[in-house]
Every structure is written in structure tokens, then in C-alpha cells.
């Protein structure tokens, strides 16, 4: 049994991933680790019962303890209001937690032999870091009805005014006002530099500062200043680089690269590029996600949702073949980080071995249905949700 000193913040969730969560704990964690967690039930029923206070509490606990692992959760919509008889359409837990931790989300694919990326030269994962505040996601828009002047006006607290003409319209059109803040961009930059150092990967950052000479240029300057003043020495010491380029140049280079770096993107670019990168790597069920706060707090999860369709099959008593890999990696990621922070070597070894066991199990041809559909391997055995996890346990026992 491996002992822990500091508990993990455990955020339980919904539907099929909640079922997998328990299986993973029973088969892959509790037999090997004297698991210490502070448990928060973020399942929709309990969020509703606690008026979503449990989500806020779990985020506060993460700030206090430093490392959390989260199960996928339902973000309520109209249909869920009826299904769960909700008091209110509670906000997305991920949004609440991200706001509380002021974090940046890093998404990386799990690369395994037999599940080949569409882009042949990608040999290593590409981690996407998306700035999760502002720009077009907090914009103000006007549908211009006809001829007239559109202006951009800033009024300082002391009354000073900055005024620019956007356009003298001759007829109807559209305008859009966006913003970002130095504070948010700085937090984003810190999280990116820290994560690059943490994972010993190069950091790329791209904007369109040749066209957006003030807005995007501010992003570029904040990153560059932080790099020069706070991170350059550490980057050079561990042999990684910081590389700024234009977004279109970055796209071209990413396609020709071998992978193995972090690509930091503005909010919209990150939204678009993360879906492209993740689908090109093969499967949403093989995508990990970690929220990193500028103060160095970590929350690990799978990138996919609660796999509702499989859950209804499960409730109907049918067999499911749901892929638990990203959720297992959320646990190993969190346990490894706990091991690093607390200096528990066995915990780090456990996480490394368990991840290897997952990959070897798949490489030996044993996998869930989603992977069987896209694998390049022959002689594949399709396993159900439970069998796949038990097979991983066997592999782990044989290598540990």
C-alpha cells in the first residue's frame, strides 16, 4: 500500500462517467493506494440540493489543498431541468471552478500505438492552452440599421476620454466591441510558462499582432515581458524554448511539426484549434484536460462529457463499452502531482506504471469499442467497460 500525506480534492460527477469513476477507484486505485481524498459530490442531484454550494466549496478546497481530480458533470439545459426537477439551471461546474481558480485549461491527447493521428508526422502530443476569458466571448454587438457614425469611446474614472471612429456607415452593417484585461492575459501567460516548465515542453504562442496592432500586440508584449523578466533563465536551464509567431504561420508549422509542444492560443483561436487538434489525434475519449491556476493549483479531468447515451443503455441493463482512459489519466495525473508536491516517489511510480499499463493494454489489442472502430491494429478484442478496466489491472499487476 502506498501512503499519501495530503488528500486530493475528489469531485464526483454524473451519468456514465460516475459509474466509471467508481470502477476505476475499486479496481485500479484502492487496491494499491491508501487513498486520501476530500470528497465533493458534484453530481447534479447534490448540486441542486446544495444550491450549487458544493461546487464553490470544491473549488475553495482545491485552492487550499492544491490538487483536484474531477469527474465529468452535466451542464444543465432545459431538458435536464425536467429530468432532474432542478430548482434552477445551475451554471457549468467547470465554468464556476475555472472562475474561482482563475485558471487556464491545457488539453493534451494520449498517444498510443494503434491509434494513429490523421496527420502522419505528429509523433508526440500537442497540448493546447486556451485563454478562457474575454475577446469575442464577452463582446457587445450592434446591428447597425443604416447610415451613421460608429465610435469607440473610453471614459476614465477621472473623466479623461479616448475616442476613435470605427466607421462612417453609408448604409446598414454590424459592429462589435470586445475587451480583455492585462490581469487576465498576465494570469494566462504565467500559467502557460509554468506548465511548460512543469512538463518540459517548448511553448508556442500565436496571435495576429500585425493586423491588431494594439489589442493582439498587448498579448504579445505581456508574454514577452514575463518571459524576459521571470522565465527565460529557467527555460534555458532545462533546455526548452519560448516561440512567438503569427497565428497563420503557427497553423502551418503545427501541421508540419512532430508535436511535443504546448500551443497557447487566444480564446477564439483556442476554441477552434483545440477541436481540430483533438479530433485529428483520434478520439475525444483519449483527451486529457488540466486546469492550472497562476498560483500553481491543478485540477485534472477528462475532456469528454458524461457519455449520456451509454448511461441510458447501462440503466436499461445493456452492456456498455465506454472508454475510461481519459478518466484514469485524470486520476494518475492528480496522484503524480500530489506525489511531486509531497515528495512521495512511490506515488509517482504508481502513476507512471498505471499509465503504461493502460497503453500496453490497448497496444496488445484489448480496447473499448470507440477505439476498435479507428485502430490500425489487427486481432482486436472489444471489451465492455468493466472488462477493459480489469484488463488494465492485470497488465499493471504484471509490470509493477
Cα–Cα dist 250/288, whole Å: 22
Burial class (CB in 10 A: 0-12, 13-18, 19+), 18: buried
| Least distance CB 271 / Mg ion (angstroms) | 4
Cα–Cα dist 98/187, whole Å: 12
User: Which one, 274 or 332, has the nearer CB to Mg ion?
Assistant: 274
Interface ranges with ligand NAP (CB under 6 A): 72-75, 94, 284-285, 301, 304-309, 322-323, 370
Which grid cell sits at 263? 500551443
User: Which one, 55 or 207, has the nearer CB to ligand NAP?
Assistant: 55
- Contact criterion met (CB below 8 Å) for 10 and 38: yes
| Least distance CB 74 / ligand NAP (angstroms) | 4
The listed partner (ligand NAP, Mg ion, none) that binds 308, CB under 5 to 8 Å by sort, is: ligand NAP
User: Which one, 129 or 359, has the nearer CB to Mg ion?
Assistant: 129
* Residue sitting closest to ligand NAP (CB): 305
Which grid cell sits at 338? 500530489
User: Which one, 52 or 269, has the nearer CB to Mg ion?
Assistant: 269
The listed partner (Mg ion, ligand NAP, none) that binds 75, CB under 5 to 8 Å by sort, is: ligand NAP
The listed partner (ligand NAP, Mg ion, none) that binds 271, CB under 5 to 8 Å by sort, is: Mg ion
How many residues are there in the chain?
A: 400
The listed partner (ligand NAP, Mg ion, none) that binds 393, CB under 5 to 8 Å by sort, is: none
Which grid cell sits at 345? 516517489
| Least distance CB 204 / ligand NAP (angstroms) | 25
The bridge status of strand 381-382 relative to strand 126-130 is unpaired
| Least distance CB 270 / Mg ion (angstroms) | 9
**Residues sharing a CB contact under 8 Å with residue 29, sequence separation 6 or more, in sequence order:** 35, 331, 335
Cα–Cα dist 1/3, whole Å: 6
User: Which one, 206 or 375, has the nearer CB to Mg ion?
Assistant: 206
Amino acid at each position: 500500500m502506498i501512503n499519501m500525506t495530503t488528500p486530493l480534492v475528489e469531485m464526483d460527477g454524473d451519468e456514465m462517467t460516475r459509474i466509471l469513476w467508481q470502477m476505476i477507484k475499486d479496481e485500479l486505485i484502492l487496491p494499491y493506494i491508501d487513498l486520501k481524498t476530500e470528497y465533493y459530490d458534484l453530481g447534479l442531484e447534490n448540486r441542486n440540493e446544495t444550491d450549487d454550494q458544493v461546487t464553490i466549496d470544491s473549488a475553495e478546497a482545491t485552492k487550499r489543498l492544491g490538487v483536484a481530480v474531477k469527474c465529468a458533470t452535466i451542464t444543465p439545459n432545459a431538458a435536464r431541468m425536467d429530468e432532474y426537477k432542478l430548482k434552477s439551471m445551475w451554471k457549468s461546474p467547470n465554468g464556476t471552478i475555472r472562475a474561482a481558480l482563475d485558471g487556464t485549461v491545457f488539453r493534451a491527447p494520449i498517444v498510443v500505438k494503434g491509434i494513429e493521428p490523421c496527420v502522419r508526422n505528429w509523433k508526440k502530443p500537442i497540448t493546447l492552452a486556451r485563454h478562457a476569458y474575454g475577446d469575442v466571448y464577452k463582446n457587445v454587438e450592434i446591428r447597425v440599421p443604416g447610415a451613421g457614425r460608429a465610435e469607440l469611446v473610453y471614459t476614465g474614472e477621472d473623466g479623461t476620454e479616448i475616442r476613435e471612429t470605427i466607421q462612417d456607415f453609408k448604409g446598414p452593417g454590424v459592429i462589435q466591441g470586445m475587451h480583455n484585461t492585462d490581469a487576465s492575459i498576465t494570469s494566462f501567460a504565467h500559467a502557460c510558462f509554468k506548465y511548460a516548465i512543469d512538463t518540459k515542453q517548448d511553448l508556442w504562442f500565436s496571435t495576429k499582432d500585425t493586423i491588431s496592432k494594439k489589442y493582439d500586440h498587448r498579448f504579445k508584449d505581456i508574454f514577452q515581458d514575463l518571459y524576459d523578466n521571470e522565465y527565460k533563465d529557467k527555460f534555458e536551464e532545462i533546455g526548452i524554448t519560448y516561440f512567438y509567431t503569427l497565428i497563420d504561420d503557427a497553423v502551418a508549422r503545427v501541421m508540419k511539426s512532430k508535436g511535443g509542444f504546448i500551443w497557447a492560443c487566444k480564446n477564439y483561436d483556442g476554441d477552434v484549434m483545440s477541436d481540430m487538434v483533438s479530433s485529428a489525434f483520434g478520439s475525444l475519449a483519449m483527451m486529457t484536460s488540466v486546469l492550472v491556476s497562476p498560483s500553481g493549483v491543478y485540477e485534472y479531468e477528462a475532456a469528454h462529457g458524461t457519455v449520456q447515451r451509454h448511461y441510458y443503455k447501462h440503466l436499461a441493463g445493456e452492456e456498455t463499452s465506454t472508454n475510461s482512459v481519459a478518466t484514469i489519466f485524470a486520476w494518475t495525473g492528480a496522484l503524480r502531482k500530489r506525489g511531486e508536491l509531497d515528495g512521495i516517489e512511490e506515488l509517482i511510480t504508481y502513476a507512471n506504471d498505471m499509465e503504461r499499463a493502460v497503453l500496453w493494454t490497448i497496444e496488445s489489442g484489448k480496447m473499448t469499442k470507440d477505439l476498435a472502430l479507428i485502430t490500425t491494429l489487427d486481432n482486436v478484442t472489444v471489451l465492455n467497460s468493466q472488462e477493459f478496466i480489469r484488463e488494465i489491472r492485470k497488465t499493471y499487476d504484471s509490470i509493477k
